Structure 1
């Protein structure tokens, strides 16, 4: 089971890494908000331990960004002890809140409680759009035509854009969320990035890239993956 530790205190991260590794958890670490979001996308952790006061993107913003596409349990570990801070974090989507300094035994108990909610060995979804199958477990895309199956090669960034849309089928994913989660908060206005990668994905996945049926643009807002309701019409 993977735990992502998001904290800019290297000594705390080291201590948590040693303690949690001894309990059998695999540990990933991120020192700021933007890299926390990136690590969450890349590694799909089973639990996030999140400090609120990291440099760059604030912890509350990280929670909002993650809750746009994942229900991974979030345990806030923060030096902010005020009731208003706790309420804000929990309302944003955090599952639990521990204040620093904390007892390691209490932390482990809270980690166990949250990880018990994670379904074990739950298969990741396989999504099919037209003649294209997207396997989130294998991180692969294949196209089957005329009884012949071939792999569709995606760049790492193309895959990350597609994965975020696949994990939110039928729902709007805003340009700001996509840009923040993939490139970081410094690129929230770089919409040209998205247009480029969405265009490339349409060329690789859509039957007619100029009249997309699945990777749809919501004008002025973002993008949406539209899944077919039933069998595809015959050509």
Structure 2
């Protein structure tokens, strides 16, 4: 007996569940239909609003539509307006913070004038040798000394030092000014005077004349007393 009762209860439950499911399907269909009906006019209004906004048909209508949108969304400003404001601010800031034109101007490479003929002054003393090359007016083109060449102490007065000094001076003058001819003026009684003159010729300069310009005294100052040996 108990088995039959249980079976009846189960059948009743199944029937109830079926009825509920049928009611739900009906309700969902009704809701869909209602929604479709309610959505249609809204879609039409949205389309109209977009058309008005895209075309310039009236500023008042545009303003009204934008206000309605703000009220619907519950915003003080629409995101489009915020983006426009931000863009304006950026443009203003960029104008203010534009890098000022720097006053720094790159210097052009110096174009050296050509000096084809010039003078060479060799000062040869007991301690050093100095060679200076000038143009015909006496403006210095290049110069060098034994100290600049890297010699120190007693090596500065050697003929080898004089040779290297002239090579340095001639190299500078030929590179920058294109010096080719030279008239030589020798001054002093050092050991490097002859080697300096030879070096001028060996380094590609044409020596047109050699002049000794050592200052000679006309019985001027009294000489040192001779050493007592």
With normalisation by structure 2, the TM-score equals 0.23
Q: Which has the higher helix share?
A: 2
TM-score, structure 1 as length reference: 0.22
